[in-house]
Structure 1
Amino acid sequence: MQRNKKNQYECRSKASLCLYGIYTTMPRDTKQPQPLDYGGVLLIISFLLFFITPLIYGRSFQWPWWIFALIGVSLLFLWLFIQWEIRREKHQKPALIPIQLLHNKSFSYNLPIILFYNFTAGLFICYPYYLQAYLHWEVMAAGLAILPYGLGFFVGPLLFTKGNKSSSFWIPIALGLLIISFIALGVTFYLIAHPFWLTHGLFLLAGLGHGLIMPVMMRESIRPITLEQAGQASGLVSTLIQVGSVLGGAIVGTLFFSFGNSYGFPLALAAALATIGSVQIIGLAFYYTNIKSQ
């Protein structure tokens, strides 16, 4: 017992001595912490609040005029935020999101790609509802039906890390998979209302494209950014991912339910899936524009 206490005492003494040595010998950080941009934080939160909330609840209220008025107010807050950040940069004050980031063409052209590929969030609103409400599938069966997409989404990052190819190789492939598979899914569900082996395979390819484009764009968006701006850039990318998911869910979901009530749910699902694939063409256009500008 006494030997154990002695060993514990020696271990604590050595640990304390090591911590003291680290504290006294490590170089001190001479940089002064920068004050937080409280005005920028307030404006960007106001923009996101007034922009995302109407998109989430707009369909529940049948899109009245005041929903669009709130979205208009959000754009006003976005303009005020940009002006506020420009003014702080002119006075050499720390900014929440330096506007100079957007002057980097490579970074700016990547942002629309990130925005539009997150429109795939609309799939998880429409497809399970279609299977349960229209085809009367059980909840478990509807969940398993989305499994091919999840499998492809899991395999995509593995291919990216093991493939040893540049981003210029993967980006057109990933976006091409999203475009072709989602548009093909729209055509297939328009012709055949029930899922079958072809739709499962197309969902696998769509998930593969989504799983590929996500790590590629995360790396490509940060690659041209300096170390000092990496935090703000990653924060802007993360915010855009959330905005893209909400915007895609609102647009695709509204299209799906509007068409479903008017023209039937098979056509509604076909239009929703084709829309997800079609907006990726815009992202692909920004990619090739970025290539030409370099």
Structure 2
Amino acid sequence: MSAIDKAEKAAERKWWALVAVCLGLFMALLDVTIVNVALPTIQSDLQTDFSGLEWVLNAYTLVFAVALVTTSRLGDIFGRKTLFMLGIAVFTIGSLLCGLSGDITMLNLSRGIQGLGASAMTPLSLAIISATFSGKQRGIAIGIWGGVSGLATGIGPVIGGILVKHIGWESIFYVNIPVGIVAILLSLWAIKQSKDESAARRIDLFGFIAFTVFMFCLIYGLIQVNHEGNGWTSPEVWWMLGISILALFVFIVGELRLKHPMVDPRLFKIPSFTGSAIAAFCLSAGMYALLFNLSIYMQSFLGLDALETGVKLIAFTAMALLFSPLSGALMGKVSPKGLVVVSMALLAIGVYSMSFLSKHNDPAEWIVLLPGFIIAGIGSGLINPPISNLAIGTVPVQRAGMASGMSNVARQMGGAFGVALYGAILSSRFTSLVTDRIQSLQDDQLSESAKGQVIQAIESAGPLVGSNGLAGMEHDMIFQNDPLFDSYREIARASFVDGTIDIIKIAAVILAIGAVLCLVLIRKKDLRH
């Protein structure tokens, strides 16, 4: 074989390596959004409560966030190709176990395994591209990588809706198996091994453990608010939140003392870097985490099926997909600060406009959400490129990998925190509103003792059952032949909608705070490269 033929084959193999990398990335990001539309079906099939359903999302994002920096570091030390393929294998096995799950505990443990695999696939995919391509080809490859990221996020709800409606919720996980096998075989052939020869061959176990304790206790504490008998005043909740704060303090102090920390807190001395991290956190907490609750509203309350819900969400994802390339083109002409602040403001306005929800459980009422989906989708598309640019462009070049990892961690933290926070607030508000409205019924309609029994039954069922009008509860002993059952049904539905409106407003406030902080913190002079 001539030297020219070898060069042509090597060039061709590079692009196949990009295909392999994009397949892995596609799977990891698809499973962030594809699950949202399947949640009500999973809840019905596995008979879980609201907190169990939250863990379907948070088990994935928690493990993803905690392990992301460590797995990226392992790839630098032991070989990016090796860790990337291992990540695909772990993710594929986790997907198989998810599909085979017969109860919510098994499903959530399997989602954690998926998250572990995704924590290697996502950051290492970009590192492999950087090591494989150079010059203009690297720019093209990264552009394709970014397009696949947007595509996976955008079509996730639609693919999820089709699979759930026509096959079953298990299929959203089984679909990963053939893709994973192809990605492993293609990676084995096409990707060249690369390492960071200058990387210290040490793993920051202290940072990993302290950060794990911080994240787990924070999210677990918030989710425990949903459990019957807990609430915000529960000692268990406050113990978890207290341990979380302590672990965060220990993590920061410890990382400052280490020579090779997992995360260098000193980077947060750079105002623009801090601004980018806040933007990433608020974007996920204020917008992406809210999709969990909006999906439940559209399916359980309005009565849309999984496919119809996925199609309705296209208004948001299509705008994000269309405006992301425009944002990339604008970055050289408009300051990153301007793009981030305007995007966060659009997201806040779009989310707030969703708070005018209808209490009529007519599927056509989803149209109330459409303007918010469009505005927030534009903001979501515009904000992603400048966040990444600020994260790596405001730190020394040798810290760019760490900065990119920290930006991704901020996103995952925001998503996990938002889902847990909104769940805790929704459960608390649902309980409070149901109690007040049942108590307001006339005593000649319902005795005080009967009111207590009805309140306890509805509160125990939780907001998920409340959202679908106490479906199935009419056969419970306490409600049999009760002429007021239709009144209870309307009280539960109204309480669910009012609680959902409250969390939408809170999400808008989170995004607005993010916009203000970015306006104050981000500075053009901080950009190094």
Instruction: Give CA deviations for 1:59-80 in whole Å, capped at 9, x if unaligned.
Output: 2454432122112112211111
Which residues in structure 2 correspond to 1:139-158 (within 5 Å)? 139-158=306-325
Structure 1 residue 140: deviation in Å? 2.1
Moved runs in structure 1, 4+ residues, more than 4 A? 29-32, 190-194, 291-294
> Is it true that 1:102 corresponds to 2:333 in the alignment?
no
> Is it true that 1:287 corresponds to 2:518 in the alignment?
yes
Structure 1 residue 136: deviation in Å? 2.1
Instruction: Give CA deviations for 1:171-215 in whole Å, capped at 9, x if unaligned.
Output: 2221121111111221x3268776354531321111121122122
**Tell me, what secondary structure is at the counterpart of 1:106?**
helix
State how far apart, in whole Å, the 2-side matches of 1:30 and 1:142 are.
Answer: 48
* Shift in CA distance, 197/53, structure 1 to aligned 2, threshold 3 Å: closer
- 2:273 and 2:522 in contact (8 A); partners too: no
Task: Find the counterpart in structure 2 of residue 82 from structure 1.
Answer: 252
Task: Find the counterpart in structure 1 of residue 415 from structure 2.
Answer: 245
Task: Find the counterpart in structure 1 of residue 500 from structure 2.
Answer: 269
State how far apart, in whole Å, the 2-side matches of 1:38 and 1:284 are.
Answer: 35
Question: 1:40 is aligned with what amino acid?
Answer: G
State how far apart, in whole Å, the 2-side matches of 1:30 and 1:272 are.
Answer: 48
Instruction: Give CA deviations for 1:116-149 in whole Å, capped at 9, x if unaligned.
Output: 1112133222112112222222232222222211
Instruction: Give CA deviations for 1:220-255 in whole Å, capped at 9, x if unaligned.
Output: 122111111122222222111111001111222333
Q: Say which is worse superposed, 233-242 or 61-70, in terms of deviation.
A: 61-70
**Tell me, what secondary structure is at the counterpart of 1:97?**
coil
Question: 1:189 is aligned with what amino acid?
Answer: L
Which residues in structure 2 correspond to 1:203-218 (within 5 Å)? 203-218=373-388
State how far apart, in whole Å, the 1-side matches of 2:524 and 2:327 are.
Answer: 25
**Tell me, what secondary structure is at the counterpart of 1:225?**
coil
Aligned partner (choices 252, 259, 265) of residue 429 of structure 2: 259
**Tell me, what secondary structure is at the counterpart of 1:33?**
coil
The gaps in structure 1 that reach 5 residues or longer are: 1-6, 16-28
Which residues in structure 2 correspond to 1:89-238 (within 5 Å)? 93-119=259-285, 120-163=287-330, 165-166=333-334, 167-186=336-355, 188-189=356-357, 195=365, 197=367, 199-238=369-408
Cα RMSD (Å) of the superposition? Answer: 2.9
Task: Find the counterpart in structure 1 of residue 82 from structure 2.
Answer: none
The gaps in structure 2 that reach 5 residues or longer are: 10-195, 434-493
Structure 1 residue 85: deviation in Å? 1.7
State how far apart, in whole Å, the 2-side matches of 1:191 and 1:170 are.
Answer: 36
State how far apart, in whole Å, the 2-side matches of 1:291 and 1:85 are.
Answer: 24
State how far apart, in whole Å, the 1-side matches of 2:197 and 2:503 are.
Answer: 55
User: Taking CA–CA contacts closer than 8 Å with sequence separation of 6 or more, which of the two structures ends up with the larger relative contact order?
Assistant: 1
- 1:189 and 1:270 in contact (8 A); partners too: yes
- 1:181 and 1:203 in contact (8 A); partners too: yes
Corresponding residue pairs, total: 266
**Tell me, what secondary structure is at the counterpart of 1:59?**
coil
**Tell me, what secondary structure is at the counterpart of 1:36?**
coil
Structure 1 residue 94: deviation in Å? 1.8
Question: 1:183 is aligned with what amino acid?
Answer: Y
Task: Find the counterpart in structure 2 of residue 21 from structure 1.
Answer: none
**Tell me, what secondary structure is at the counterpart of 1:189?**
coil
- 1:190 and 1:267 in contact (8 A); partners too: no
- 2:298 and 2:309 in contact (8 A); partners too: yes
Question: 1:200 is aligned with what amino acid?
Answer: L
- 2:316 and 2:377 in contact (8 A); partners too: yes
Query: Normalised by the size of structure 2, how large is the TM-score?
Result: 0.46
